[in-house]
Structures are given as structure tokens and as C-alpha cells.
Structure 1
Amino acid sequence: MTLHVEIINPYPATTVKELLETKLLIPRKIRHFLRTKKHVLINGETINWQSPVKEGDRISLTFDTEDYPNKTIPMGDANLVKPLYEDSHLIVVNKPEGMKTHGNKPTEIALLNHVSAYCGQTCYVVHRLDMETSGAVLFAKNPFILPILNRLLEDKMIQRQYWALTEGKFQTKKTVYKDKIGRDRHDRRKRVVDPRKGQSAYTTVTRLKTFEGASLVNCQLKTGRTHQIRVHLSHHGHAILGDPLYSHQPASRLMLHAHSLSFTHPLTLEKVTVKVKSESFEQVLRNHKS
């Protein structure tokens, strides 16, 4: 596999070394290959590592098979993909409830396989949604952009917001949960609040609407622990309706939907904001009494 990447530098003047290392976040091993093979061109010309790169310069990168080993997965059904945003490097799609983001086994078909079929190439998961959750999911189209997007996620520069229909009524407009989350020792499927051994977790909950015995809230994540929203809400007496693990209140689906995803595109510095609704989520809301 040979991968060619061309971008117009959106960053202020710097050196080639600093651009690849601190802006494009290319791993050290890959930077070494690019330098020794002279696979970096600025405006069509070969350069040295301390050459200046100005905003607007055209940067050409070439990666060989040994730089990014080729990965293949089974292709799914492209017709099942509903793209929300797409360019040559990444894609955001609308995941339906009841579909896994990625399979647990190499032969298992999930959203990742369908997205790869849609794009005509193997794609990569940047973040995931629980199988029962619907909404916006971000995928990398190539191994070059994947570590860059992973770093944005780690640095909390990808903002994710969810709607949830929960049990009970919130007394305040905004609530912040900071309870640490760990594994449930008695049920491997579940997570619990664990002040001693849990990982830090931060969820901001904003009340949007109150129903009879239920509340519609917006949840914004600063961390991405497994089942984070579900655990935080249920721990504080506001389990999500239809949650098969943490709630006893039935619904036709888990009432959790990732309605908004926003980030600054690392290769263009464009602000990308994607919003999406869910008909099945809206239908359950319509059936609730205010």
C-alpha cells in the first residue's frame, strides 16, 4: 500500500520538523521513514527537516507499506451508511440503535464494516457508541489521520453531546457529575461508580424538558468512559429509560442519542459541527406526557 497525502498548510510559519511532530502529530517512527526516504515535499520540492513551512504551502507526504501496514477487514453493506460529514480523510455517520460500532471478532460485521464498504477502503474507529445508542460517530479513512484524531479525542478537543430521557425530575437546570467509574465485580457487562479504583469521569447534564415522572436532558462529555452517561445518571437516581442494564423503566429502545459532534479539523482548521436527530428517539418522546 502506498498512501499519498496532500494538504495546504493551515498553520502559522514553522519548520517541517515542528509541523509534522507538533501539529500533524505523526508518530516518531513514521517521521523517521518520511525523512530518510525524502517523502516530504513542500510546494513540489524536496526539503530538509529545518526548512521553513509557511501558511498556505502545499505539503505532499508519501507513506509506504512498511510505514502503515495494510489492514483489511470484511466489507459490509454500503447502503446501510448514512453519512453526515465526509472528506478525503474522515467521515461522520449516523449509527442506528441496535448496531455495534465495531465487531468483537475479526469476522463480525458491524458499522465499521459498512462504513469501510461505503468508502471503498478500510476505515478506523476513532470513538465508539454502545450498541443500544444511536447518533454521530467519527471514523478515520486512513491510518495517517487516525493518530491525529485520537490525540484530539484524548485532549478533549472533540465535543460530544447526547440527549437522554431519564427517570425522575432534576431539581436544578445544570448538574455536573464527577464520580469515578470502574468495572462491576459481579457483572462483567456493567460499570459502577468506584471512588477508589475507578477512572475519572466528567459529565455535564442540562435539563431540557420535564415530563410526567421523566426528564429530557442534554449530556456533554469531557471524558469517554464505557457506559459513562448511563452509570452517572443511574447512580444519581436518573437511569435512562429503556436501559437494559441500569434501568427498570421500559421503552422501545435505550433513550440515549448522540445528537451533536464538533471539532476543529486538524488539516484545515475548519470548525466542523454535525447534528443529527433520531426518529425512533423522537417517537418515544412524543408518547410521553408533559
Structure 2
Amino acid sequence: MKFSLILPKKIKKQSVSHLLEYTWSMPRKQRHLLRMKKHLFINGLLASWEETVGPNDKVTLVFDQEDFDFLTVEPGDPNLADILYEDEHLIIVNKPEGMKTHGNSPQELALQNHVTAYLNAPAFVVHRLDKETSGAVLFAKNQFILPIIGKIFEENKIHRSYYAVVQGYFSEKNLTLHKNIGRDRHNRKKYVVSKRGKKAITHIETLDKSKKYSLVRCTLDTGRTHQIRVHLSSEGHPIIGDPLYHPYSTKSRMMLHAGKISFVHPLSGEDIEIAAPSDTFIYKKSPLFKSGL
């Protein structure tokens, strides 16, 4: 595999070594292979690790198949991949509710399988949404970008906004929840607010409300499993249709949607901001609230 890219105009001049290790956060193994195999070129010439690169320089990287772990995913239906954004390295897909991000076995079809079929090539999961949650999911199209974008995600530099319809309403229009989250000792499928749990921060904004329900937007500073579901439930405002944290709700689906994802592209430096539409969430003031609730 060969990748070529032009460094963005706003990038600072730096050594090749600094570019790979710090600007791109490339793993040590990949950097070592590029160096040992002499598979890195600047403007068509074999690169020295200490030479300086800057705006508009062309960087070319060559990887052999054995440089990466082999991934086999059974292709699904390409028509089920609702593509929101795509470039040479990344693809963002609008996941429907009721579909897993990736299967637990080779035979189980999930969103990853459908994206693989659309690309006719492997798709690598960067993050996941719960099966019941719809909205934007980011995949890597190759194993060169996968650890780079993965580290950005771990550092909480990929920002996501979620929309939820919850039971009741908050007394404040805006609030931030600082509540640690840990696994429920009595139900391994659930998570709970726990002082011994991992740090979790959720920002909540009320967009609209009625006598029974509210539309809220949640943004995350952390990415704990079930974070929004647990935090909202802990405040007495569980998400409508949540089978775990609001099991007596009669709504047929969980009313949680990952409506927007934004980040700085690690290679191009471009600001990426992608909205994920939803037919379920429709309202006169917000495109993400169902009328009649």
C-alpha cells in the first residue's frame, strides 16, 4: 500500500521524525518499519529522518501487507451503508437504530460488514455506538490511519453531540454532570454512577420540553460505556425507550441519536464537522425531536 499526501499550508516546519511521532502520533512499530525498509519519501526522494518538512511538501509512505495485522470481515449489504463523509483515509456512516457497530462473531452482520461491502475493502472501527443508538460512526479505511485517529479519539479530541428525548425535564437549561461510572455489580450489562468508577463528564443542554418529555443535547468530555444513558437516568430523567435504564418505557426505540461529529483531520489539518440526520427525530424547532411527544 502506498499513501501520498501534501502537507497542509498551516503546518509548522519540523523534522520528519517529529512529523511522524508527534504531529501524526504514528505508532513506534510503523515508524520503525518505514525507516528500516526505507519506505518514506519526501518530494519523491528517500527521506532522512532529521530533514525538515513543511507546507506543500509531498510525503509518500509505502507499507507491505505483512506490516499490518490481517483483518477478515464478511461483506454485508452496501446499500445499508448510509455514507455521510468519505476521503482517502476515513469514512463516516449514519448508523440506524437496532444495528450493532460490529459483530461479535464472523457470522454476525453489523454496520462494519455493510461498510466493508460498500468499500469493497476492510473498514476498521474507530469507535462504536450501542446497538439501540443511531447516528454518526467513524471508521478508518486503512491501518495506517487507524492508530493515528484512534489516539485522537482516546485523547477526547473527536467531539460528538448526541440528542436524546428524556422523561421529564431539568430545572436548569444547561448543566454539567461530573459523575464517575462503573459496572453494576448486580447486572453485568448495566453501568451505574459510582465513586469508585471511572471519571465521566457530560454537558447537557435542554433544547425543548413539554409536560412529559424534554429534548436535550449532550456533549461528552469522556467516552465511558453507556455514559449518557447512565448520567441521564441518575438524574431521574432516563431516555425514552431505553431498554436497560428505562425498561417501562413504551417507546419502540431508544430515543438517542449521535447527531454530530467533529475533529481536526490528523493528516490534512482540515476541520471536519459532519451532521447525521434522523427521520425519527423531527420537530418544528429542531430536526431531532419527534412531534407529538
Q: After TM superposition, is the score higher than 0.5? A: yes
AA of the residue aligned to 2:66: E
5 Å-filtered alignment, 1:241-256, equals 241-247=240-246, 248-256=248-256
| 1:99-140 Cα distance to aligned partner (Å, 9 max, x none) | 000011122110001001111111111111100000011000
5 Å-filtered alignment, 1:131-280, equals 131-196=131-196, 198-247=197-246, 248-280=248-280
Unaligned segments of structure 1, at least 5 residues: none
Structure 2 distance, partners of 1:47, 1:193, is: 51
Structure 1 distance, partners of 2:209, 2:244, is: 23
By how many angstroms is 1:204 displaced? 0.2
SS of the residue corresponding to residue 65 of structure 2 reads: coil
AA of the residue aligned to 2:243: P
| 1:67-99 Cα distance to aligned partner (Å, 9 max, x none) | 113212111110101100000100001000000
Structure 2 distance, partners of 1:246, 1:231, is: 7
Q: Which residue does 2:128 correspond to in 1?
A: 128
1:286 corresponds to which of 280, 288, 291: 291
Moved over 6 A (4+): none
SS of the residue corresponding to residue 245 of structure 1 reads: coil
SS of the residue corresponding to residue 147 of structure 1 reads: helix
By how many angstroms is 1:66 displaced? 2.4
5 Å-filtered alignment, 1:91-106, equals 91-106=91-106
AA of the residue aligned to 1:84: L
Q: Does 1:6 align with 2:11?
A: no
Structure 2 distance, partners of 1:39, 1:177, is: 48
SS of the residue corresponding to residue 280 of structure 1 reads: coil
By how many angstroms is 1:24 displaced? 1.5
Q: How many residues align?
A: 285
AA of the residue aligned to 1:287: G
Structure 2 distance, partners of 1:107, 1:249, is: 32
AA of the residue aligned to 1:118: Y
Higher mean displacement: 268-277 or 65-74: 65-74
Structure 2 distance, partners of 1:262, 1:48, is: 34
| 1:166-204 Cα distance to aligned partner (Å, 9 max, x none) | 0111101111111111111111111111112x1111100
Unaligned segments of structure 2, at least 5 residues: 284-288
AA of the residue aligned to 1:5: F
CA RMSD of aligned residues (A): 1.1
Q: Does 1:46 align with 2:46?
A: yes
AA of the residue aligned to 2:4: E
Structure 2 distance, partners of 1:68, 1:110, is: 23
Structure 1 distance, partners of 2:250, 2:231, is: 19
Structure 2 distance, partners of 1:66, 1:277, is: 39
> What TM-score do the two structures reach when normalised by structure 1?
0.96
Structure 1 distance, partners of 2:276, 2:71, is: 30
By how many angstroms is 1:6 displaced? 0.8
Structure 1 distance, partners of 2:120, 2:56, is: 30
| 1:22-67 Cα distance to aligned partner (Å, 9 max, x none) | 1121111111110111100000001211111121100000011221
Structure 1 distance, partners of 2:72, 2:51, is: 36
AA of the residue aligned to 1:223: T
AA of the residue aligned to 1:255: M
